[in-house]
Structure 1
Amino acid sequence: MNGQCDRRTFVTSAATGCLLGLAGCLSGSSEKVSVDDATPDVPSPDPDASVAWETFQYDAANTGVAPGAGPAPGSSGEIVSRWEFETGGGVYSSPAVVDGVVYVGSDDGSLYAISASSGTERWSFETDDSVTSSPAVVDGTVYVGSGDGSVYAIPADANSTPDAEWRVETEGAVAGSPTVADGVVYVGSSDNHLYAISAADGEVLWRFETDETILRAPAVADGTVYVGSNDGSLYAIDTDSETERWQLETDDRIQSRPTVANGAVYVGSNDNTIYAAEADSGEVRWTFQIEGSVTASPAVTDHAVYVGGFDNRVHALSPAAESESEGDQPADPASYFWTHRGLNAVRSSPVVVGDALYVGNEDGTVTSLSAETGEENWQFATGGWVAGSPAVVDGVVYVGSGDGSVYALEEA
């Protein structure tokens, strides 16, 4: 095989894994470290559930939790790629999957619409710079940002050469993903602003200024939009009035997308800390420190917070700290159920579907873990970084890679 490896799974152990990446085939180990005897409650998978994966981490709150079930190794013990779709650049955008079509951006400057069943191109839309932004597909329209500084609205059922319904130009690159809620598109720009744009006609309703670049997607829940900035702060902004409700300052840049669940907002910071704050007030519930930056976004169920970091690990945390906040003092640091160590940094934001967690790694792999125990179900090697978040629809995992391809992973 000329020193290369098959793009196949390594089930339950990566110790024999041959990982395709910039350094070629690598060897290493992946271990699960139990912290205590407690495990989070997880729902049973529902293989009959069919979902539309409309946006980054499944919903506008970025919870990363969806119904259904993902692929599990069959009698052959393998997960394989149903198809691989090659683009002209790295794919760091996270796919959306709606009505049998996969929508994803590429560093080659294009947004692609791909048949989920066959992997054939339905159409592509060219922008003037890289598309690392993850598309949002709502009510028949695809919304996506580009490094050219624009936000585009494109008809989802377009022909092979679609025209944009509208285009809004900002004064900086739009690397983050749009979040669509109640007819409004919320998106950040490297011009330091968060934009609220009418989904119908592209009218800019308001702009909210921070002190530095906004690189990642906001979360929207209960009339509030939450967004992090490179100025180190997490902002909560009223969706109607544009007024700031509260601001949480951290000690470094926030390049993680916030997640809203259980009455709290969860976000990582480059100060190596994961924060849980009251969604309505910004009061810190608890913090959890790791040995590296946290640029991935948490996935949050009713019983656990899952997040990866530059410590090469995925952590499963208890959403409740041991004590409550008092005055200006946050609660005790969160305890955790388990941690799973991989070979490289975890930029990819995990998703939880049924009883399994799915996440990418800079070593080029996509891994499925037990959401309850952290035990590895399977691992699949691509040819480049996996920085985007997977989408899991009808038993198939769709994910992009820095090797320039989009993969559809299923049971062998």
Structure 2
Amino acid sequence: MKKATLFPLLLALFAHSCGKQDIDPVTMALSGPLGSPLVTEDLIIVGSQDGNLYAIDRTSGKKLWNYKAGDYAGLVVYKNLVYVSPRGKGELHAVNIADGKLAWVFEAGHTVHDYRDKFINGIPSIYGNRLYVSSEDWNVYMLDPRTGKELARLILDEEPQAMEIAISEGVGYIGAWDGYLYAINLDDLTLIWKSETNNDHIGQTTYSRETGLGWISDNPNGKLLNQQAPYVTVVPLVGKTKVYFADWAGNLMAVNKSDGKQVWRHSPSTRNMRHVGPRHYLSEYQNIIYYGTLEDGHIYGVDKTSGERVFETETGTMINGPMFSAGRFAFTLEYTMDADGNVDWSLPIVKLFDMKTREFQPGPDGVGSFPYIVDETTYLGLADGRIVSIDMDSGVEQLVLGPEIKGRP
């Protein structure tokens, strides 16, 4: 995977759980930065800088096969197939886990309306022996996981960009650039509701299929602050009776799971400032939802029952997160600025945010991939060709794969 793709790879963290796995270190020299590693009982599958996915035997450390996938967001395995979406192609590939041979390719973009891109977003979600993916061609697709055949599609009112579709009790939840969250019946991809949320923090929102989004600002100077937009790209948190999501203006909202009506909304402290809220994931610990606003460098903790703010800190830097959690820790990305205010997007600093103590601790150096989580253990591909694991309840880091360690006897 090329170093130039490090920043977009880090922006969108994803989780996929398949049961607790204890990984013994494996000796392997791969060209970093490494992509998101997929861990099974017998294999480690990971992308390398040369654009190949490699399957590595966990016992012997031998390479079993490779597949040319290029840059990718993440990997999912289901019924002996590995699913990967090469970045920027608008395709989903299914690869046989036994030998690395291509089983099928699905291509998005076969639609009658105009769209900006046809990229497949992140990773597929799985429910009821079906795959579900969203695309920037405005569609949510249902696919047969064995053949890649399209079984149904639902066109939204704007493009989605969420890393995955959140699923609960046969309903999929995903946001779009029109500022709304959609609840979708996964049996037939019919719309159940579109959230009733009022983004008056940024002014009145207008939308048309022909012209796209438009805003009438409520700021004193009558101008919309740059990127103070209601885009909803975060993967929502789904509770028993409510669904929680945020927009790019920094608003965190709770809506009824039954009808999408807004229950409460939390807005950032400073009204006349560009916030840029969470784009990918929220974090939750002990009934508190944590999220950050990138531009003004704040992290907020909000009571998920009342919507009241219980924690706030100003980090003094541009920060993305906490946006991915398991146990008590969540990942954050920090970006440095020079004296002229120019941001270095290529070299984010990864830190762990302890949601119990509400303090930061250093994360691994040179993270070049999305985390892959199994129970409360997270696996990361690094820029130097190593894979490490982090226990997300203790923060302890261990080596999983690298060029200078011994494999199992």
TM-score, normalised by the number of residues in structure 2: 0.66
Q: Deviations over 1:156-206 (max 9, x none)?
A: 3x33xx222222111112132211122111111121111111223222111
The answer to whether the 8 Å contact 2:290/2:322 transfers is: no
1:120–1:295 CA distance, 2 compared to 1 (3 A): farther
* Count of residue pairs brought into register by the alignment: 322
Out of 262, 269, 284, the residue aligned to residue 247 of structure 2 is: 269
1:87–1:235 CA distance, 2 compared to 1 (3 A): farther
1:236 aligned residue: 183
Equivalents in 2 of 1:67, 1:342: separation in Å? 37
For 1:151-170, list aligned pairs within 5 A: 151-156=92-97, 158-159=98-99, 162-170=100-108
Matched, 1:143 2:83: yes
Equivalents in 2 of 1:86, 1:315: separation in Å? 39
1:314, distance to aligned residue in structure 2 (A): 4.2
- Where do 5+ consecutive residues of structure 2 fail to align? 5-12, 110-117, 200-228, 269-274, 336-346, 390-396, 400-409
1:301–1:347 CA distance, 2 compared to 1 (3 A): closer
Q: Deviations over 1:250-281 (max 9, x none)?
A: 55222212222233222221122122222221
1:203–1:411 CA distance, 2 compared to 1 (3 A): closer
1:209, distance to aligned residue in structure 2 (A): 0.5
The answer to whether the 8 Å contact 1:108/1:131 transfers is: no
The answer to whether the 8 Å contact 1:269/1:293 transfers is: yes
1:114–1:337 CA distance, 2 compared to 1 (3 A): farther
Out of 5, 12, 15, the residue aligned to residue 57 of structure 1 is: 15
2:141 aligned residue: 195
1:295, distance to aligned residue in structure 2 (A): 0.5
Equivalents in 1 of 2:145, 2:188: separation in Å? 17
Equivalents in 1 of 2:258, 2:284: separation in Å? 18
Matched, 1:126 2:56: no
Q: Which has the larger strand fraction?
A: 2
1:96, distance to aligned residue in structure 2 (A): 3.6
1:335 aligned residue: 309
> Helix, strand or coil for the counterpart of 2:363?
strand
Out of 306, 329, 333, the residue aligned to residue 356 of structure 1 is: 329
The answer to whether the 8 Å contact 1:109/1:131 transfers is: no
RMSD, matched Cα = 3.8
- Where do 5+ consecutive residues of structure 1 fail to align? 1-20, 23-54, 61-65, 70-80, 322-332
Equivalents in 2 of 1:213, 1:371: separation in Å? 33
Q: Deviations over 1:85-115 (max 9, x none)?
A: 7557785xx5443225444557875544456
1:343, distance to aligned residue in structure 2 (A): 3.7
1:35 aligned residue: none
1:303 aligned residue: 287
The answer to whether the 8 Å contact 1:112/1:123 transfers is: yes
1:242, distance to aligned residue in structure 2 (A): 1.8
Equivalents in 2 of 1:119, 1:361: separation in Å? 34
Task: Supply the AA of the counterpart residue of 1:57.
Answer: A
1:411–1:166 CA distance, 2 compared to 1 (3 A): closer
Q: Deviations over 1:274-300 (max 9, x none)?
A: 222222211222222233322131133
Equivalents in 1 of 2:150, 2:319: separation in Å? 37
Matched, 1:99 2:79: no
Larger relative contact order, structure 1 or 2 (CA cutoff 8 Å, min sep 6): 1
Equivalents in 2 of 1:223, 1:264: separation in Å? 15
Equivalents in 1 of 2:40, 2:312: separation in Å? 33
1:170–1:260 CA distance, 2 compared to 1 (3 A): same
1:104–1:348 CA distance, 2 compared to 1 (3 A): farther
1:338, distance to aligned residue in structure 2 (A): 5.2
Task: Supply the AA of the counterpart residue of 1:356.
Answer: F
Equivalents in 2 of 1:314, 1:117: separation in Å? 42
Structure with larger Rg? 2
Equivalents in 2 of 1:117, 1:269: separation in Å? 45
Matched, 1:408 2:388: yes
Equivalents in 2 of 1:339, 1:82: separation in Å? 40
1:350, distance to aligned residue in structure 2 (A): 1.4
1:103–1:68 CA distance, 2 compared to 1 (3 A): closer
Equivalents in 1 of 2:28, 2:278: separation in Å? 30
> Helix, strand or coil for the counterpart of 1:381?
coil
The answer to whether the 8 Å contact 2:372/2:378 transfers is: yes
Equivalents in 2 of 1:82, 1:315: separation in Å? 40
